[in-house]
């Protein structure tokens, strides 16, 4: 039977590509590397031979699995079951669960350090959730640096995983290419280097050239938080020149920001233009399922083994604690992991007290009261409700799909915070606080006149303050 499957594999791929209407880069990255391993008892086993194995496999199973199974069944004209594995799962390729440290590992560790990267940031440890687009494009860039999506511009709010993806790209490339030169920098560090050069009384031409070559003689440049070059003319000039130099040599550039390129104020138009000439993708706040997955993975990284067995009392109670955190802390990954860290630490301080929903609530109640209801928190709640990104709400977009949720934020910020109108306007990236007054009054009137609006606001209020 495997012979028939292998003979028809090209036909299956053609059918899949035609019916699914998949982008070429995604087809090349995720589908072409699938190879036939076996076909026994109506079970088709495929091996994913591409790069970033487990991260890619996770994405394939979520995005393409069902349609792959349908495609195979249609072409073979029989119902089949499908499973997709990694080469490391093959019996003939068993390896020790504790890999030996060899010279290559030490060399890689040294290169990661020299690139200013943190090895803990990998595609495997990134929880995809509703940020599939950002992960797929990052994987594509890591697979073919300088060939697709150059520059790649990733934007989104604080703590959503931009730095994680940025550094994952660097770590992945270093692992795959022993000769690749990768360099990560945050904008603050880069700016400080520029300032040091300018302040030095006797900066030689050689020192200036050395500084520029540091960034120009790389294959991949990763720049974090580019929005901080605002109003820094000399820093902008250096980045512009470095950008042009690398781009002309087909070297990969990846940039992160808390907003879209066109929304970064006080930077030169020529820089905005450069940032926009590749691909721009956004990072969204994690939905509930993603928040739970993030918390569970973080708990397991701390040594907690959790199961879905209803008779496992420890896991049941621990998962209820994670549910409490996922429900009450919705803004970003950093906040989620920080809250869980606090609960774990408090448990250890109290003689390893059992971690339950009640214990989590007691541990986090002070933080909840003091920090929970902020403008940023409300923006994230509203964005998730309307299934848009916080960056959209804080953008200059004027479509009804964006403007209306923005006005809802204005109303709820007035209701739940003591912030001045100007502060609320700033949180929404608006210059005129009169806009906030208008939005507040508009929603207030609609609540009085429209039951649907009143019910929608009630739902949001319960999400903002469940207690």
> Would you list which residues are annotated within the binding site for ATP?
159, 161-163
Residue in 349, 351, 350, 286 with CA at minimum distance from that of residue 322: 286
Residue 282's CB: how many other CB atoms inside 10 A?
Answer: 22
Strand order across the beta sheet in which 152-155 lies? 182-186, 220-224, 252-257, 152-155, 279-282
Residues 220 and 169 sit within 8 Å (Cβ to Cβ): yes
Measured CA to CA in angstroms, residue 385 lies from 281, 381, 388, 446 at distances of 21, 6, 8, 18
To 10 degrees, the CA torsion angle through 461, 462, 463, 464? 50
Is 374 buried (19+), middle (13-18) or exposed (0-12) by CB count in 10 A? middle
Q: Which parts are annotated binding residues? A: 159, 161-163
Helix H or strand E segment including 14: helix 9-20
Please list, in sequence order, all residues whose beta carbon lies within 8 angstroms of the beta carbon of residue 31, skipping any fewer than 6 positions away: 13, 16, 17, 22, 64, 68
Residue in 172, 156, 175 with CA at minimum distance from that of residue 282: 156
The first and second tokens of residue 253, run together, are 């550039």
Beta bridge partners of 155: 257, 282
Please list, in sequence order, all residues whose beta carbon lies within 8 angstroms of the beta carbon of residue 127, skipping any fewer than 6 positions away: 286, 290, 293, 294, 297, 333
């Amino acid at each position: 039977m495997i012979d028939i499957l292998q003979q028809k594999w090209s036909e299956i791929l053609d059918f899949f590509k035609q019916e699914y209407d998949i982008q070429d880069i995604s087809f090349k990255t995720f589908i072409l590397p699938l190879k036939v391993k076996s076909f026994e008892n109506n079970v088709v086993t495929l091996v994913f031979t591409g790069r970033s194995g487990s991260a890619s496999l996770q994405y394939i199973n979520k995005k393409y699995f069902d349609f792959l199974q349908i495609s195979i069944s249609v072409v073979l004209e029989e119902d089949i079951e499908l499973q997709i594995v990694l080469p490391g799962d093959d019996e003939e390729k068993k390896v020790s669960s504790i890999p030996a440290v060899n010279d290559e590992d030490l060399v890689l560790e040294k290169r990661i350090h020299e690139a200013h990267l943190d090895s803990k940031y990998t595609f495997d440890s990134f929880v995809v959730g509703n940020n599939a687009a950002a992960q797929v494009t990052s994987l594509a860039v890591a697979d073919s640096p300088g060939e697709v999506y150059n520059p790649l511009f990733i934007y989104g709010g604080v703590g959503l995983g931009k730095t994680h993806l940025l550094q994952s790209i660097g770590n992945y490339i270093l692992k795959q290419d022993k000769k690749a030169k990768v360099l990560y920098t945050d904008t603050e560090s880069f700016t400080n280097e520029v300032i040091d050069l300018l302040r030095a009384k006797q900066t030689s031409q050689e020192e200036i050239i050395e500084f520029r070559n540091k960034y120009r003689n790389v294959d991949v440049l990763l720049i974090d938080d580019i929005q901080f070059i605002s109003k820094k003319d000399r820093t902008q000039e250096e980045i512009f020149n470095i950008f042009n130099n690398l781009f002309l040599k087909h070297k990969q550039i990846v940039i992160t920001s808390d907003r879209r390129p066109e929304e970064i104020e006080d930077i030169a138009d020529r820089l905005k233009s450069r940032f926009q000439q590749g691909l721009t993708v956004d990072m969204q706040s994690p939905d509930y399922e993603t928040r739970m997955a993030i918390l569970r993975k973080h708990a397991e990284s701390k040594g907690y083994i959790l199961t879905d067995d209803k008779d496992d009392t420890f896991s049941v109670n621990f998962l209820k604690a994670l549910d409490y955190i996922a429900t009450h802390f919705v803004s970003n990954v950093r906040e989620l992991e920080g809250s869980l860290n606090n609960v774990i630490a408090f448990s250890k301080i109290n003689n390893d007290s059992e971690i339950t929903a009640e214990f989590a609530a007691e541990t986090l109640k002070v933080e909840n009261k003091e920090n929970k209801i902020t403008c940023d928190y409300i923006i994230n709640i509203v964005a998730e409700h309307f299934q848009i990104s916080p960056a959209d709400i804080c953008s200059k977009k004027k479509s009804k799909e964006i403007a209306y949720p923005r006005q809802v934020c204005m109303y709820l910020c007035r209701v739940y915070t003591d912030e001045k109108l100007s502060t609320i306007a700033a949180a929404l990236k608006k210059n005129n606080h009169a806009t906030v007054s208008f939005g507040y009054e508009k929603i207030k009137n609609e609540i009085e006149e429209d039951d649907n609006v009143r019910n929608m606001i009630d739902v949001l209020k319960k999400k903002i303050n469940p207690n």
